[in-house]
Amino acid sequence: MCGIVGAVAERPITPILLEGLKRLEYRGYDSAGVAVIEQSGALQRCRRSGKVSELAQALLNEPLHGRLGIAHTRWATHGAPCERNAHPHFSGSDLAVVHNGIIENHEALRAELCGLGYEFSSDTDTETIVHLLHHKLKTFPDLADALKAAIPELHGAYGLAVISASQPDRLLAARSGSPLVIGLGLGENFLASDQLALRQVTDRFIYLEEGDIAEIRRNSVQIWDESGALVEREQVQYHEGAEAADKGEYRHFMLKEIHEQPAVVQRTLEGRLGSGRVLVQAFGAEAAELFARVKNVQIVACGTSYHAGMVARYWLEALAGIPCQIEVASEFRYRKVVVQPDSLFVTISQSGETADTLAALRNAKELGFLGSLAICNVGTSSLVRESELTLLTHAGPEIGVASTKAFTTQLVALLLLTLALGQVRGTLDKATEAELVEALRRLPTHLGEALAMDKKVEKVAELFAEKHHTLFLGRGAQYPVAMEGALKLKEISYIHAEAYPAGELKHGPLALVDSDMPVVTVAPNNELLEKLKSNLQEVRARGGELIVFADQQAGMANGEGTHVIGMPHIHDVLAPILYTIPLQLLSYYVAVLKGTDVDQPRNLAKSVTVE
């Protein structure tokens, strides 16, 4: 949530900061700003409400030239999204701060600092940091010492960067609950909240750990850990193509990411399938021993990742015979939980930095779980570092705020987990495992076939352009797929969408159905098909218009008010992965028709590092 970029170099850094902000805009985009120490030694800033492009335009008119600077793109938490609240925030004329996260004791700090004579010019919690630091500088003239003195007084989760015109050779950073990475150059160094922002300038990174404070100069980096000890952190070379931050031939990142799914699913499977079985060691060296003891699974996640976990519950209970509970992280973390004996704690997260999911993992460690497993897309994330076992999803950077390829790769990873647990515990027979491993190998081809239906889905999207409400129905493991379809539609087209298990229709939502409320259904050819068909009759009888994504062998045909889109036939267990694709395409094309900002929908952010 929010993006930070910083640079200390021998060349003009404003273009680097701006490019970094553009790459981070998926994290927050309601205002943006940059502050640099100019050649004259003066600290100058430029801020704008709205997107980074507004800031870039403003900088064309009033350029900022400097070799040390910080920049920020904001997703408002405290204070409305306007220029006055945009970062960087100043104290006096020579100290500037940018900040991600929340300072929870900001009200008390504000009162204290006002008592000391500081005047606030914004409604943000961030401004308390910069004034507190200014105050500490009176006792600790060195910027790093002042920051070390201020940090214990800041409660909450944050990542922050500081520059001072009086000490113009360094950039200071502190991490507590919100990620920061240092990018290493030759005679220049950089800072960002995500390495994606810096891939234009370097491929060598140091990830700060919880509690770290860093002093970054042109030719050196010093890091102190939580206890104040000077530490060496590992340098990581990043190899993945920098083109990930590029839309290529596609109009939007979301469409590009939808079309990447066959390739990234293939990548997620690589090295994890043996002959007729899942390779359990893919989950880590200790996985086999741990999995053998697992009698229960507790899954915790947020948003789209939560929906992936809901599908996994059907798989874990049906295929591996393991009881499974699933809960959204924001509820789990604050609830008194009764932990079943021998439970494995599983988190699912694209970013690995979602505040609630991380907090739930930290709580779980106190609750007596057998161990923790993270299913995550970012190998360097906090979630991965704090979990005992990890299975990476290899979806590559996902830029569109609405999650697509992260979801399908999570589903693949969760099916691998199901098969691995069933195998190790002996609850899944060998023939079924081999059959599903074969089906998984064919999955990328089936996903390609589903994507080839692009134009048909685009046509059907026209039915939604003027509608205000929709209903999504599914049964069994397709119910969470319907939930994910509804989430996609509301996220990017702002149409109210609700998902129901089809069997619940008559217990309330049927009252809403009329010709103005399209009903979207996913209908693979399984044992619930006939029951689903009856549910659909209930809709048609009330004049509701049906859009049905159905297995070609399901025997469903177009008719008045019924639009059937034939899907490739697939193994029933894998159907949730396949049927996700047309629902993603549907929401995408509805959003395009409505002219919304597909990749950066209003009020949302990609990575939610605040509660």
Q: Which residues here bind ligand G6P, judged by CB under 6 A?
A: 302-305, 349-351, 354, 357, 401, 403, 604, 606-608
What's the min distance (Å) between Cβ of 151 and ligand G6P? 26
CA nearest neighbour of 480 among 248, 264, 311, 267: 311
Kindly report the backbone phi and psi dihedral angles of residue 5, in degrees, each rounded to the nearest multiple of 5, phi listed first.
-135, 145
What's the min distance (Å) between Cβ of 584 and ligand G6P? 12
What's the min distance (Å) between Cβ of 541 and ligand G6P? 36
Choice between 190 and 306, CB closer to ligand G6P? 306
What's the min distance (Å) between Cβ of 415 and ligand G6P? 18
Q: Annotated catalytic residue: which of 2, 46, 302, 324?
A: 2
- Catalytic residue at 2? yes
- Catalytic residue at 114? no
What residues form DSSP beta bridges with 44? 36
What's the min distance (Å) between Cβ of 286 and ligand G6P? 24
CA nearest neighbour of 151 among 171, 127, 176, 126: 176
Choice between 381 and 423, CB closer to ligand G6P? 381
> In this structure, are residues 353 and 609 in contact, taking their beta carbons and an 8 Å threshold?
yes
Choice between 493 and 607, CB closer to ligand G6P? 607
What's the min distance (Å) between Cβ of 525 and ligand G6P? 29
Query: Mapped to the 3 state alphabet, what secondary structure does 233-298 carry?
Result: CCEEECCCCHHHHCCCCCCCHHHHHHHCHHHHHHHHHCCCECCCCECHHHHCCCHHHHHHHCCEEE
Shortest-Cβ-distance residue relative to ligand G6P = 303
Cα 144 to Cα 157, 175, 208, 387: the distances in Å are 20, 14, 16, 31
How far apart are the C-alpha atoms of 409 and 268, rounded to whole Å? Answer: 7
What's the min distance (Å) between Cβ of 311 and ligand G6P? 14
Choice between 343 and 409, CB closer to ligand G6P? 409
What's the min distance (Å) between Cβ of 604 and ligand G6P? 5
Choice between 453 and 608, CB closer to ligand G6P? 608
Q: Annotated catalytic residue: which of 136, 256, 405, 606?
A: 606
CA nearest neighbour of 399 among 242, 181, 266: 242
Choice between 512 and 604, CB closer to ligand G6P? 604
Helix-then-strand count for the chain, H and E: 18, 25
For residue 379, the tally of other CB atoms under 10 A from its CB is: 14
What's the min distance (Å) between Cβ of 6 and ligand G6P? 24
Q: Is 164 helix (H, G, I), strand (E, B) or coil?
A: strand
> In this structure, are residues 72 and 3 in contact, taking their beta carbons and an 8 Å threshold?
yes
What residues form DSSP beta bridges with 216? 171, 221
- Which residues touch 141 (CB under 8 Å, ≥6 apart)? none
Choice between 23 and 136, CB closer to ligand G6P? 23
How far apart are the C-alpha atoms of 351 and 605, rounded to whole Å? Answer: 12
Per DSSP, helices labelled H in 120-199 are 126-139, 143-150
Choice between 376 and 539, CB closer to ligand G6P? 376
Choice between 303 and 544, CB closer to ligand G6P? 303
What's the min distance (Å) between Cβ of 378 and ligand G6P? 8
Q: At what angle do helices 478-493 and 303-319 cross, to 10 degrees?
A: 170
Is the N-terminal amide bond of 88 cis, ω within 30° of 0? yes
- Which residues touch 504 (CB under 8 Å, ≥6 apart)? none
Both structure tokens of 336: 């008194």
Choice between 223 and 254, CB closer to ligand G6P? 254
Look at phi and psi of residue 134 and say left if phi exceeds 0, alpha if psi is from -120 to 50, else beta.
alpha
> In this structure, are residues 353 and 179 in contact, taking their beta carbons and an 8 Å threshold?
yes
How far apart are the C-alpha atoms of 146 and 97, rounded to whole Å? Answer: 13
Both structure tokens of 231: 């530490």
How far apart are the C-alpha atoms of 65 and 13, rounded to whole Å? Answer: 7
Both structure tokens of 532: 């689903």
How far apart are the C-alpha atoms of 278 and 280, rounded to whole Å? Answer: 6
Catalytic residues: 2, 606
